[in-house]
Amino acid sequence: MTEWLLSSSSIIPIYGLIGAILTLPWSMGMVRRTGPRPAAYFNILMTLVALIHNLILLRFIWHQPPQQVAYQWLQIADLNLTLTLDISPISMGALSLVTGLSLLAQIYALGYMEKDWSMARFYGLMGFFEAALSGLALSDSLLLSYGLLEMLTLSTYLLVGFWYAQPLVVTAARDAFLTKRVGDILLLMGVVALSSYGEGLDFSQLKDWVQTAPLQPFTATLLGLALIAGPTGKCAQFPLNLWLDEAMEGPNPAGILRNSIVVSAGAYVLIKLQPVFTLSLVASDVLVGIGVITAIGASLMAIAQIDIKRALSHSTSAYLGLVFVTVGIGQPATVAFLLLFTHAIAKALLFMSAGSIIFNTTNQDVTQMGGLGSRMPATTVAFIISSASLVALLPMGMFWTMQQWLQGFYTIPPLLLILLLLVNGLSAVNLTRLFRLVFLGPPHPKTRRCAEVQWPMAVPMVTLSLIVLFLPVALQQLDLLVRTENAWIEDVLLLNHWAMPLLIASGAVGCLFGALIPLRRNWERPTQVYLRFFQDLFAYDFYIERVYNMTVVWAVSSFSRFTAWFDRYIVDGGVNLVGLAAIFSGNALKYNVSGQSQFYIFTIFLAVSVILGLAFSGQWEGILDYWSSAFSG
């Protein structure tokens, strides 16, 4: 029974692929009379089966030690490629998060995509999406994880470009794909390098391998930087962070997964690679630097956005930056996993709330909203619950995650607390500002007749709201927070007698500041020059795109123009010169065809003389010296 349960774990990611395949008759237009809804039902059914299968397996292995299931893929000479699955409470918990949120997002999409003519194609892509994420949650093989990350890149491109008739959507899909490809190529270099230095490509082997790793400091640094590049692109971290902002042009149900578990997939791989980064201090510092810059920069960008989805997407990058900092400073992996887990659930609920607003108002501009609090009570409550969970207000989930992180605060650099206070406060400002613009104040023309969303969207949103509310209790019951029942208050008051109160105060101050700052409904430009400067700086993402256009894009386009000129005038010119020489010589020799044999003999004699003269040109000087010495003698 045990062996069968372990081996059956590999079937769970296949459920998503089966659901995607079952949608083909509708997505390809082979079945039209029933409409696209049966395709959605098939995909939802397979996701539900995957969730039930996963929960059964999770209950069985919860208190069991981690086990690996290996499948040999290729063996040629000394090359042995094995795909390994990790069956452990962490991997199965991650799989539960993937299948659970995927199920809720797909039910949510029944209402959000009800009028879309290509709903079947959307659900097929969501099944493919889910299969890649599920496989990544179970993967213990770096090679398999790389292949699954490539599947995520492809599915992101297809889902962001779902409404391909819109020019902005096409641009967003292209930028997301190319940005991720930059990180993927460097990650592939790191995978190949690691396979040549290590005994295998399994995450579970890395901790033992680094103890005897035969790497020079420079090599270890290059290896660490290459492995960092892939998660940097996947998690939308600086300088590869702009794709997530543009990806908000895609359908919101896909955005629910993209901002909760898709970006977390890259961080999930990064956490498993943490032992490799201990080999290089430079790689660890780069991780911390990327995380700090993204956490602060993205938090500031979010405050200046008027598109509700873009404001929330920048917040996603900021919290994933904290995960990079966690890995860079060598914090326990459980802290990073908890941070990913609590953020994913809260951010999924935030995007469900934002999707309900967009669905009813057909608008994403928060300056044209207002007064929705009394008209959409379930959506309002969902936004408040998810915001409170993200801002680490007691007793929500992120509070206990931060408390777990700061338990050993005396061994953590004080700058870490400053970073957490800053990100938490800025996040509170952003969410409070959005709440005031959307739910409070007088209604606007686009919000005057809004009502609560239909049940396919309301049920997943209410369900996830309850999950977020009871998340702290679940964490305690599952022993994910290592403490006794009587030590909760003691931990908060004694171990972190000033760190946690400061964190709570930062959230309260951020909420207060967000509640008091004047809101510009039309977002008119301030008269003060310095305010206008900072508004443009944050709203235009620190002009990163313009910097790219002036540096990377200019360099690539200039090099392309140079290679085009070189190919046309140097390479093609040389080839054309040879052709012209052949044509000219052929036209000149045709006049030598006179039909007289003595002329041919003379030509042959002359050619042989020239050839012999060239062949013995180096010896004529020796021959002349010989005869001159003979005659003089």
Whether 492 shows a pLDDT value over 80: the answer reads no
| Burial label, 187 (beta-carbon count in 10 A; 0-12, 13-18, 19+) | buried
- The pLDDT tens digits for 576-593 are 888 888 787 777 766 666
SS (H, E, C) 78-137: CEEEEEEEEECHHHHHHHHHHHHHHHHHHHHHHHHCCCCCCHHHHHHHHHHHHHHHHHHH
Whether 495 shows a pLDDT value over 60: the answer reads no
Output the pLDDT for position 493. 42
Q: Determine the residue type at 425.
A: G
Output the pLDDT for position 464. 92
In angstroms, rounded to a whole number, what is the distance separating the alpha carbons of residues 137 and 203? 12
Tell me the three state secondary structure of residue 477. helix
Q: Determine the residue type at 110.
A: L
Output the pLDDT for position 632. 59
Given CA atoms 362, 365, 368, 373 in this order, what sign does their dihedral have?
positive
Report DSSP state, residue 199.
S
Whether 410 shows a pLDDT value over 50: the answer reads no
Tokens (6 digits) for 159: 């889902």
Whether 483 shows a pLDDT value over 50: the answer reads no
| Mean pLDDT, residues 543-548 | 83
In angstroms, rounded to a whole number, what is the distance separating the alpha carbons of residues 202 and 574? 52
Tokens (6 digits) for 429: 């400002």
Contact by Cβ (8 Å): 243, 236: yes
Confidence class for position 463, pLDDT limits 50, 70, 90: very high
Output the pLDDT for position 478. 61
Q: Which residue has the higher pLDDT, 7 or 289?
A: 289
| Mean pLDDT, residues 116-143 | 88
Whether 484 shows a pLDDT value over 50: the answer reads no
Output the pLDDT for position 3. 67
Output the pLDDT for position 578. 81
Confidence class for position 106, pLDDT limits 50, 70, 90: very high
- DSSP-assigned beta bridge partners for residue 79: 76
- The pLDDT tens digits for 227-267 are 898 888 888 888 888 888 888 888 888 888 888 888 888 88
Q: Which residue has the higher pLDDT, 593 or 269?
A: 269
CA 137 to chain centre: 15
* E strand or H helix that includes residue 49: helix 37-61
- The pLDDT tens digits for 43-101 are 999 999 999 988 888 888 877 788 877 777 777 766 677 788 888 888 888 899 999 99
Output the pLDDT for position 49. 92
Output the pLDDT for position 485. 42
Q: Which residue has the higher pLDDT, 184 or 9?
A: 184
Least trusted range by pLDDT, from 2-11, 174-183, 541-550:
2-11
Least trusted range by pLDDT, from 104-108, 326-330, 567-571, 615-619:
615-619
Query: What mean pLDDT, rounded, does the chain reach?
Result: 82
Confidence class for position 349, pLDDT limits 50, 70, 90: very high
Whether 482 shows a pLDDT value over 50: the answer reads no
- The pLDDT tens digits for 594-633 are 666 777 777 777 778 877 776 666 665 665 565 566 555 5
Given CA atoms 201, 203, 205, 206 in this order, what sign does their dihedral have?
positive
Q: Give the start-to-end residue ranges of the domains of the chain.
A: 1-140, 141-549, 594-633
Q: Which residues contact 590 (CB under 8 A, 6 or more apart)?
A: none
| Mean pLDDT, residues 27-32 | 82
In angstroms, rounded to a whole number, what is the distance separating the alpha carbons of residues 75 and 135? 22
Confidence class for position 384, pLDDT limits 50, 70, 90: very high
Whether 408 shows a pLDDT value over 60: the answer reads no
Output the pLDDT for position 140. 86
